[in-house]
Amino acid sequence: MQERFQLKMDQFLPLRDVVFNTLRQAILTGELKPGERLMEIHLADQLGVSRTPIREAIRKLELEGLVTMIPRRGAEVAQITEKSMNDVLEVRRAVDALCVELACERITAEELERLGAACDAFAKEAMKPEKEKDVKLLAEKDVALHDIIVQATGNQRLIQLVNNLSEQMYRYRFEYLKDFSQHAKLVEEHRVIYESIVKKECETACEAAKLHIDNQKKAIIRQIRLEKEKK
């Protein structure tokens, strides 16, 4: 397994950031599995850099909650437990509601238009006959849609927070979207949120956002239990 990771060289980003992004991606996609040790020399060799940028990247992953440090033993990929996921989702539920509320107040005409388009794009993909569906594409449309809302809040701190919380869910997003029976419901939920924002009905929008998270929560927790049983 010589070439597990590929460094996407970016002339203008410090190596530590390139490494950070690379490792983060690897963790989120499951390439690096929970509990797996991150050993500096090995990573350095594989990525073709020295230990220094690796270490600095790990420091950032540590604060981001993607790895856990064990003194004198180094970093390992953080375990996902049902409890930790519950914690994340609990926070995410409140924070998403806030996003939608603020978006209601602050969204611009241009953003609103893009939001509508994003809704349509998601719906179009979700409503395709099963054989044509591309779950990866669907996930992207979903992210794009949520991103417009989050950006519309204009709150940098909030944007950063949501991104961090989302990370923890990415590893399960696929499983959740693979359940085709839920797709119609998702489209409908998005529609409600969109319509509420258009009409500036904060309350309705918030409730819809919370419901949206609640449904994802069910799917994710189910998935975690399944994986646990397999062991």
Partner DNA sequence: CCGTTGCACATTGTATACAATCTACAATCT
Partner DNA sequence: AGATTGTAGATTGTATACAATGTGCAACGG
- Compute the chain's Rg from CA coordinates: 19
* Ramachandran angles phi, psi of 42, nearest 5°: -60, -45
Asked whether position 62 contacts a copy of itself by CB under 8 A, the answer is yes
CB atoms within 10 A of CB 2: 5
Any idea how long the chain is?
A: 231
In the complex with a copy of itself, the residue whose CB is nearer, 102 or 186, is 102
Asked whether position 56 contacts a copy of itself by CB under 8 A, the answer is yes
Give the one residue of 6, 8, 10, 14 binding DNA; rule: CB under 7 A.
14
Q: Scan for tokens 């611009």, then name that residue.
A: 108
Asked whether position 7 contacts DNA by CB under 7 A, the answer is no
Question: Which tokens sit at 66?
Answer: 């993607």
Q: Which stretch binds a copy of itself (CB under 8 A): 40-48, 52-60, 176-184, 194-202?
A: 52-60
84, interface contact from DNA, a copy of itself, none, CB < 5-8 Å by kind:
a copy of itself
Asked whether position 66 contacts DNA by CB under 7 A, the answer is no
Residue 6 to residue 140: CA distance in whole angstroms = 22
Asked whether position 208 contacts a copy of itself by CB under 8 A, the answer is no
Do residues 204 and 100 make contact, with C-beta atoms less than 8 angstroms apart?
no
Q: Which residues bind DNA (CB under 7 A)?
A: 14-16, 37-42, 49-53, 55, 69, 71-75
